[in-house]
């Protein structure tokens, strides 16, 4: 996951402009123009840090001098200093919330992803963990990058990343076979075709129609096992990747990983993430 620094800075400045409105009224009325400060961004709880690059880019775009004391995807304990920042006091205070929001959210995504990936690996399964496109509008790049830093799969980054035929596509087109055939006939060789199914019959149809990936949507672990057995009986199990999605949480992820699916995707990684607790503290004031 990489963006040229100028493009990244443009994304970050849009967040800042939205937050500032016509300007930081509190800072304008209380902080003199000539105040220079040193500050530290500190982790308040254990986790995996993500968003360091973004924090440095934001500070750099505003002429704040920032130094990272930990690298991306580093495990931190409470009290760990993540960044040191020096520069104009007004600018730093006006930037603080955007910087912390992004750093804490990305670190939260990376922390949860890493924990889930670790549980799967310790249990001895080779199932890949993926996030989904469910999340806050405007934060897709940052959420996906954080999941990647946590060891997860990013799944689709955008709608043009792959062909994912979902339930509403099937309702309009009419059948799994027809939808896959239409997509296969016109798509580039570089695009994989995935079909979301809700029954064993449609899973078999998708595999036989030469889909690359079959998404088992809201299947129970037992239903997935029955589907895998049916695919094996028909000799098509190894022709497709199987993705389990829907209703999968941290509490039951191992039950799904044990079913022989290739991928489990979990929406809560991005749509309900708990942000890592981080704070910014001014440690020196120079007038």
pLDDT at 16 over 90: yes
pLDDT at 283 over 70: yes
Computed over every residue of the chain, the mean pLDDT equals 96
Q: Are 193 and 211 in contact (CB under 8 A)?
A: yes
State the pLDDT at residue 287: 78
Distance CA 213, CA 190 (A): 14
Task: List the CATH code of the domain at 5-117+273-286.
Answer: 3.90.1170.20
DSSP 133: S
Stated pTM of the model: 0.95
274 confidence band (pLDDT: 50, 70, 90) = very high
Distance CA 59, CA 96 (A): 10
Catalytic amino acids?
134
> What percent of the chain has a predicted confidence (pLDDT) above 70?
100
Which burial class, exposed, middle or buried, applies to 49 when counting CB atoms under 10 A from its CB (0-12, 13-18, 19+)? buried
Instruction: Give how far the C-alpha of residue 202 lies from the chain's centroid of Cα atoms, to the nearest Å.
Output: 29
Q: What is the pLDDT of residues 144-191, one digit of tens each?
A: 999 999 999 999 999 999 999 999 999 999 999 999 999 999 999 999
- Looking up tokens 């968003």 gives 51
- C-alpha pair distances (Å), 13 with each of 6, 10, 17, 105, 252: 10, 5, 6, 17, 39
Q: Which CATH superfamily groups domain 162-266?
A: Aldolase class I (3.20.20.70)
117 confidence band (pLDDT: 50, 70, 90) = very high
Helix (H, G, I), strand (E, B) or coil at 173: helix
For residue 120, give the nearest of 285, 287, 258 by alpha carbon. Answer: 258
Q: Are 127 and 242 in contact (CB under 8 A)?
A: no
Q: Which residues make up the CATH 3.90.1170.20 domain(s) of the chain?
A: 5-117+273-286
Average pLDDT for residues 128-156, to the nearest whole number?
96
Helix (H, G, I), strand (E, B) or coil at 60: helix
pLDDT at 139 over 70: yes
Average pLDDT for residues 104-114, to the nearest whole number?
98
Q: Are 49 and 43 in contact (CB under 8 A)?
A: yes
Q: Which residues make up the CATH 3.20.20.70 domain(s) of the chain?
A: 162-266
pLDDT at 2 over 90: no
Average pLDDT for residues 222-233, to the nearest whole number?
98
State the pLDDT at residue 1: 63
Phi-psi region of 129 (alpha: psi -120 to 50; beta: other; left: phi over 0): beta
State the pLDDT at residue 236: 97
Residues 6+ apart with CB under 8 A from 57: 5, 8, 9, 12
Q: Are 195 and 215 in contact (CB under 8 A)?
A: yes
């Amino acid at each position: 996951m990489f963006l040229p620094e100028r493009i990244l800075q443009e994304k970050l400045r849009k967040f800042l402009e939205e937050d500032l409105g016509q300007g930081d009224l509190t800072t304008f009325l209380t902080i003199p123009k000539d105040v220079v400060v040193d500050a530290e961004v500190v982790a308040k709880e254990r986790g995996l840090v993500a968003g360091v690059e973004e924090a440095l880019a934001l500070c750099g775009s505003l002429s704040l001098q920032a130094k990272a004391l930990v690298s991306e995807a580093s495990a931190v304990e409470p009290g760990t200093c993540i960044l040191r920042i020096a520069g104009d006091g007004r600018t730093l205070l006006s930037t603080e919330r955007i910087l912390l929001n992004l750093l804490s959210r990305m670190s939260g995504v990376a922390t949860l992803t890493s924990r889930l990936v670790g549980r799967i690996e310790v249990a001895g399964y080779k199932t890949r963990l993926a996030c989904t496109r469910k999340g806050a509008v405007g934060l897709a790049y940052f959420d996906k990058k954080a999941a990647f830093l946590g060891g997860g799969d990013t799944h689709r980054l955008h709608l043009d990343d792959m062909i994912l035929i979902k339930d509403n596509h099937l309702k309009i087109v009419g059948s799994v076979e027809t939808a896959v055939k239409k997509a296969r006939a016109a798509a580039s060789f570089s695009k994989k075709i995935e079909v979301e199914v809700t029954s064993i019959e449609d899973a078999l149809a998708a595999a036989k129609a030469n889909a690359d990936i079959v998404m088992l949507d809201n299947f129970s672990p037992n239903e997935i096992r029955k589907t895998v057995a049916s695919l094996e009986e028909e000799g098509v199990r190894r022709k497709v990747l199987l993705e389990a999605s829907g209703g999968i949480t941290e509490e039951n992820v191992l039950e799904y990983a044990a079913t022989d699916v290739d991928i489990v995707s979990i929406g809560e990684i991005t749509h309900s993430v708990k942000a890592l607790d981080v704070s910014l503290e001014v440690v020196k004031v120079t007038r």
